[in-house]
Each structure stands twice: as C-alpha cells, then as structure tokens.
Chain A
Amino acid sequence: MNRIAEISQAEKTIDDFHLGPINIEIKPGTITALVGNNGSGKSTLLKLLMNLAKPDKGNIRISEKLVFGPDESWKTQVSYQPQTVIGWNAFTGNTLKEFISPLYPDWDDSLFTKMAKLFDIPLNKRFGKLSQGVQQKLNLALTVPRNTPLVLLDEPTSFMDIPSKKHFIDLLADWMDDGNRAIVMTSHQSADIMKLADYLYVLQGGKMIGTYEKDELIGSYLQYWMKGEMPALPIPGELSREHQRLITCSPEAAEAFFQENDLTFTSAVPLDLEEIISLLLTERKER
C-alpha cells in the first residue's frame, strides 16, 4: 500500500520543549488518533506536517513531496483544521468559502451546504460573532469539503454539543468510505477515538511512546478479580493491584502463571480505552 504522508526521524526544539524523534506513516483508508497529555506535542506534530513549524532534523513528506521543499504541490493534498484560526473574525462563512474553495480542485460544494445545514451555521454572520461551538463547526465545514487525501483535525469536537458530535462522526465515517483518504486527529474525547480511530499514536512529553492498532491495544490489557489469596510475587505484565483486582498487559502469560501456581480468578474483564491510555501515560512516567 502506498502512503499519503510520512514523518521520519523528525525533531524540533521550542524553548525548553523537545519533540521527537517522531516517526509515523499515514496510509490511505486509515484514521489515526494522536493521544497524549496536554503539552505532549500533538498539535506541534500536526504543524510539522503543515510546514507551519520547521523541524530541526528529519524529513516530512506529503504525497511523496518534502513539505519544506520548493515543490508546493502537496498543499492541495492536505487540509488542516487548527484549534484556533487567526484572521477570520471579520468575514462571514459565505465569504470565507469564496476564499477557500478555489484553492482546492476537488472542493465539494454540496458537502459544504450539507454541513452548514446539519450544524445550523449562519453563513451571513461574521466569524468573530459566532460562539466557540459554531466557529468550530464552520471551521470543519470549511475543511472537510476540500476533499484532500489527507485531513488533519486538531480537537475537532471539543466545543460541540452532543447531537452535533454524533452527526459529525457519522459524516466523517461516510466521507472515509472513498478508501483513498486518511485522517490524523488529536482528541481528548475517548468516544471520538472509539468510533473513529484505527490507530493510536501515543505521545508523552514530546516523546513517541508507540503506534497501536486500537483493538489490539484493548485486547492486550486485562483485569482479573482473584479468588482467595493474592499471588505473593508480581504476575507477568502486572501493572497494578488493589484488593482482589490485578491488571496485566500480558494476559496469556498471566493465565499460564495462574495455572502453574494454582491461583484462580472469578472474572476477567477488559479495560476501557480511557483506563488503558491513563496506564500507558502513567506507567512511563514512573520509569
């Protein structure tokens, strides 16, 4: 499979924050969620892809073109929704659309109209006069219809009401049906990640912890409620224990261990994604 974007060995220092080395490959048909604490470098990573921040080291390619090279044709291959936009306040939705749509050869005007209707966006009102939630919706309605192979979304649903979130997730899933597109998004909403993401790219304090396929990640953690005595020694992959509950990140080895040591459990239940992400991010801190 060919790739839409690639970051290899990229590093960037901003004041006392160091990001990288970052390695990531984005393939068509996939949705990747960037996950990490505040200040872990998620937004900076998106800016590197957009050439809005220059890496100190490493290469960044979109559609096989280096983003800091002289050939800027990659710019029509990617659309970016930042958390905050600058310079839009004085313009209405309609005017902004007139600015943006000619820049993208595959602009889908009917999708724009559909999103404006779906989100109830007043297109004649100045951007600056809209509420945070409506600004976010308009921003997205001006991003997704660009129909670029790669879409970068920075916290797309953070200010949205519950029904709009659902509509937006449904819309993105339909939009992805094409199969040749990819989305990279940051989100602190685990519902967004559960419904949309195929891969999780986990960052902590600027360091890449890893890329995980969502279902594989969820399947690799298990919590057990033990019957009777708790094992004296740590079990394989043990991450935490309290009362009768044990959490492991290697269930198979743990169960083999239980059998060898005549230990029994009353139930084994997977963790939800929020717990797994918390464990991934705290587990590392302690090391």
Chain B
Amino acid sequence: MIPLVPDIAHFLAGLLVLLSFVQLYQSRLPPLISIFAAQSLALATFVAWQAQIQHAPHLVITAGITLIFKVMIIPLALHGLIRSLKIHRTVETVVGIGPAMMTGMALVGLSMALMMRTSAAVDVVVREDIAFALSVVLLGLLMMVTRRNAVSQAIGFMSLENGLVLAGTGAKGMPLVVEISVAFSVLIAFIVVGIFIFRIRERFDTVDIAVLDRFRGERP
C-alpha cells in the first residue's frame, strides 16, 4: 500500500478540481449547494489524510471544522435560506456553460504552468497539490464572475476558500491559528452574505445582483 500514499492525496485534490467544474456546470441552486457540500467533504477527507501522513494532529481539528461547518451547517442553512426565499426552483441564467467551462480549463492550464515555473525546486507531489489548490481558487473566482445570483456567488466564494485550505494543508507547517481564523472568517462572511441576501431581497424582490447596478445608476 506504500505507493498509494501520495496518490490518495493527489486523487482527492483532483476530485476537488473536478467538483469545482461540476459547480460551474450546474445551474440550479439545490444541486449546487449539495455539490458544494460534497466538495467540502472531499476537502475534509484530504485534510484528515494529510494529518495522517504529515503526523500533524492539529490538522485533524481543521478537518473537523471543515466537516462541521462546511459539510453540515452552511449547506443546511443555505438550503433553508433558498427555501424560505422561495428561489429553490429558479434556474439561473448563466453566462453560458460552454464558455464558462472553456475559461475554467484555461485557468487550470494557467495555474499548472505557473506552478511548474515558480516552484521547480519543491517536491513534485506538493507542487501539483498547490497547482490544484490554485485551480480551485481561480475556479471559485470564475464562478463568482459568471453568476448573477447572490446565493451562487456566495457558494463561489466558499469554494474559493476550500482552495485556500487545500493549499494551506497540502504543504507542511501551516500554524493552526491561521486555519482557525480562516475558517471563522468564512463563517462570518457566510452570515454577512446571508444578511446581504435578505436585504437585497427585501429591497428589490429578487436576488439578482444586476439590480444593484441599476440602483447605483451604473447601468440604465
């Protein structure tokens, strides 16, 4: 089983990238939230596995935080949110699945090329894990750019944060304080975004971000 050890970490990191692509493809909200939960579960497994092979017990705490907040609390809260706003049946107008996926591919290629150049001295497995993490971050950003719905933008943001945790735990020696603060900042961001969504909803009767542009007078 020894040759499988780096493979499993690698495989889980790749699974995160794959699930980012599935998020880009999915245009309905309830499956999108479930895919985000699945991605977080993959991340929690990755972090727990890293704790095992790096002999770093504090990573178990990170895995636990991910498991409790991102796999359970946040997806359940989001499901409740979209049900109470009665937007769980809306099919979102995306920029277009084809162009979004193409851009995503280009971003993965970009992060691979970048990591191969800048970190040539690092161990191959760690380098590729970090390249995957950068891909997840960029795909999360892409998700926020291509969506008009506030809920899916929030999911894009949290999936971006999954990429950050992936980068932080894939390499050795990230202190626990940083991880905990990142985890809590995401929780706070989630609360802020939730309030934000409610406020837009009250003000404009929709969660489409485009109305904000019109409100500010940026778009006629």
| Same assembly | no
| Residue ranges of A at the interface with B (Cβ–Cβ < 8 Å) | none
Interfacial residues, chain B to chain A (CB-CB below 8 A): none
